Amino acid sequence: MTRVGVLALQGDFREHLHILESLGVGAVAVKKPEQLGEVDALVIPGGESTTIGKMATRFGLIEPLRQSIESGLPTYGTCAGMILLAGAVTDGDQPLLGALDVVVRRNAFGRQNESFEADLDIDGLDEPFHAVFIRAPWVEKVGSEIEVLAEVDDHPVMVRQDNILATSFHPELTGDGRIHDMLIEMV
Ligand code: GLN
């Protein structure tokens, strides 16, 4: 059985575990570096990217995560997870994995649009995806290897680079498993 790990330090990792279970794969809460060797793919959930980054640093997970992703582990980051995967953020200084060649802007949609929902056209999906954005980032700058799969107001909100998929929004909250399926297909 395919085993998909969910980084379970902070944030909404339980919702990812549930949706993965509903898709018929083994879902594993990952808290320790040695667990990375036991999964076929990884989800980095939404939450607070500074907190997840600090905890990953404290638990000695930053280097092992970088190495696993670099060596091809299919990895999907949602929202704070997208931020953690990025090469840089537009403001501030926080621990990042630097695996995805993008610069992200945190809380990019501003106060009035802190949370919103939108039906998105996504490359590779036949029907629009109902996307929930919560204090979401957008991708401010993309490197040459980045494929943009969806945008809101001309800002990329879903990207792929080799074995890495990232969304600004939260597909674990709506019960639509199509994006998690994309990850599973990357195994
Ligand atoms: N605003 C959060 C951050 O900057 C991300 C929000 C989320 O994951 N829903 O880390």
pLDDT in tens, 120-156: 999 999 999 999 999 999 999 999 999 999 999 999 9
Residue 80 Cα to ligand 1 midpoint, Å, equals: 4
Active site annotation includes 180 = no
Contacts of 83 (CB under 8 A, 6+ apart): 49, 77, 89, 96, 104, 106, 137
Active site annotation includes 34 = no
pLDDT of residue 132: 98
Q: How far apart are CA 172 and CA 176, in angstroms?
A: 7
Per CATH, domain 3-185 is 3.40.50.880: yes
Nearest to 132 by CA among 5, 32, 19: 19
Q: Where are the domains of the chain?
A: 3-185
Angle between helices 13-22 and 178-185 (to 10 degrees): 80
Cut 0.95: pTM above it = yes
pLDDT of residue 94: 97
Question: What does pLDDT average to over the chain?
Answer: 97
Per annotation, catalytic residue among 70, 170, 180, 185: 170
Q: Does residue 148 contact residue 161 with C-beta atoms inside 8 Å?
A: no
CB neighbour burial string for 165-178, b if at least 16 within 10 angstroms, e if fewer: bbbbbbbbbbebbe
Q: Is 79 in the pocket of ligand 1 (CB under 6 A)?
A: yes
Q: Does residue 149 contact residue 123 with C-beta atoms inside 8 Å?
A: yes
Active site annotation includes 170 = yes
